[in-house]
Chains A and B, each alone.
Chain A
Amino acid sequence: MTLRRPTGAVLLVALTGLVVLGLGAGSAAYADARSDAKEQVQFGIRVAQQGLWQEALYRWRRAAEIDPTYAAAFNNLAIAHEHHGQLDEARVSYEQALQLEPDNAMIRQNYDLFREIHDRTESR
């Protein structure tokens, strides 16, 4: 059996295959990150509903670290900061959430309500 040198066309097909595989792996990694982040977010919601805000804050911070494109994680994190009176941190998280999803009416509404309190304390 003799091995012939690969032609340009074969090389092109191989390269395309590698790119597709790479993209697939990337998208799978992204899906995994989102799925992990969602688990953290959902757990955070359950504990926040039970009044365990410190744990909720930790979970939502983890979610935001795992998937920094997940607006819900930043929105919830902002709410937890608000509940702890950490208004500057809350503002940063709300702004990150809005940067990720500028048209999300619920994040906007939370942010507007937060701003009312924040502006009141700022003006003092």
Chain B
Amino acid sequence: MTVRNPAKALGLAGLVALASGCVNFVEIPVETPIQAKLDVSPFSRVLVAGFVSGGSDQVDANIETVRLLRSQLRTKSDLRVIDADPMPLIELVKEEEVGIVQTSASEDLPEIRSEQDLEYYEQVFANVDYWKRIGEEFQNPLIVTGTILFAPQTQSGFVQREREVYDAFGRRSVVPVRTFMERKGFILAQKFIFIDGRTGATITSEGFREERLYNQDQNTPALSSYFELMDGIVPKFLNILSTQKVRGTRVLLQ
């Protein structure tokens, strides 16, 4: 028997292989549990208190992050999430509520435009008495706080794009083209600080950084970009507090 059509031949070979049991692999879905980094067993409640944030006036990163993390923790963690107004930490620093050590007047506090500006506010989290007081107020929960920088970013460079071309016969093909472009986007640098509400002491801290750049013809609102960036950070945050399952597919062999 001769088969002229190669596609038919391949199909036939596949059928023969299937019929004779020659298929020697099986795809299977797997769920890999990744253990939580932090032992949260001493806590039954979590307070996402608020963040020192800055970088862009288009998004209130403090409010948005508190809302997002609380909603994620409600569904993906066993801890009870405390509902309270997000703490405006920068305002509290200015009003000297947190008791930050200042060398100059409150009005001289640096406006947050870069990651270096955030460093100044780091002392807020070391104020054990303040956080212990907050802990007592909310019945000794695990307190989540930290810093956020959500800032616009511009970058120029060569970008590979695909361009459609048509030959003399009108046949379409796609060719890669390198073009110099200016791209705009945002960076999101977050540092999560976990405080023991019973003692006011910092248990651990973890920093993450994400960035997205868009072509100039793309008009992406800052809030959309913020959520896009948070998509990359939220799973890592959740994995600090609770065991997460990573879904994937593997090939079993015979």
Spell out A's residues near B (CB within 8 Å): 38, 41-42, 45, 48-49, 71-72, 75-76, 79, 82-85, 87, 104, 106-107, 109-110, 113-114, 117, 120-121, 124
Q: How far apart are the CA atoms of A119 and B24 in the complex, in Å?
A: 29
Interface size on B, residues (CB 8 A): 19
Stretch at the interface among B30-38, B68-76, B172-180, B218-226: B30-38
Does B246 sit at the interface, judged by CB under 8 A? yes
List 6 contacting pairs A-B, 8 Å CB cutoff, sorted by A.
A48-B252, A72-B252, A83-B31, A107-B253, A117-B248, A120-B34
State the main secondary structure of chain B at its contact with A: strand
The 9 lowest CB-CB distance pairs between A and B, nearest first, are: A72-B253, A85-B33, A106-B251, A79-B250, A83-B30, A110-B250, A76-B252, A75-B253, A82-B32
Q: Main SS of the interface on chain A?
A: helix
| Residues on the A chain within 8 Å of B2, using CB | none
What is B's interface to A at a CB cutoff of 8 Å? 24-26, 28, 30-35, 37, 246, 248-254
Return the contact of A124 from the options B32, B37, B246, B254 (Cβ within 8 A). Answer: B37
Closest chain A residue, CB of each to CB of B26: A45
CA distance A114 to B250 in the complex (A): 9
The interface residues of chain B lying within 8 Å CB-to-CB of A124 are 37
